[in-house]
Amino acid sequence: MKPKFLFQVGLICVLALVLSCLMMLSSQAQSTGIQQAEIPRAVDTISKARKVELIRLVRQDCGSCHGLSLKGGLGPALLPDTLRALPADSLLTVILQGRPGTAMPPWKRFLNEEEARWIVAQLQKGFPHEEP
């Protein structure tokens, strides 16, 4: 087998393991009655034009690894059913900081925290296909 193929298979396994651990921790928190903190709702200061750019960024750039329909690929699926149980703050951190040692890059050069929070909220409820 080719080393590149083995690396990709290994990376997918690591990402699946991380996602499984996050989901397990979330289900344990729910079963013990611990409430997950939701992302605080701030005044929405993101312009409509910027939201259109963010939708394109997620659909195209994130979609290159997570699948153009966000159903998974090299990276895990970014669908509401997959993300609903995960803490929003953890998703925010992954978007802004990336995952060192994996293919998930940090996006903090391209997004501010408010924009990343907007993306998390949209992903958890079902990411739009067109402009908001």
- Three-state secondary structure of 17-65: HHHHHHHHHHHHHHHCCCCCCCCCCCCCCCCHHHHHHHHHHHHHHHHHH
122 φ, ψ (degrees, to nearest 5): -65, -40
Per-residue pLDDT at 125: 92
127 burial via Cβ count (<10 Å: 0-12, 13-18, 19+) = buried
pLDDT along the chain (132 residues), means of 10: 50 44 46 46 80 94 93 94 93 96 95 97 88 58
Single-letter code of the amino acid located at 18: V
Tell me the residue ranges of DSSP E strands in 1-132. none
Q: How many CB atoms lie within 10 A of CB 51?
A: 18
Largest CA distance in the chain: 52
pTM (2 d.p.): 0.67
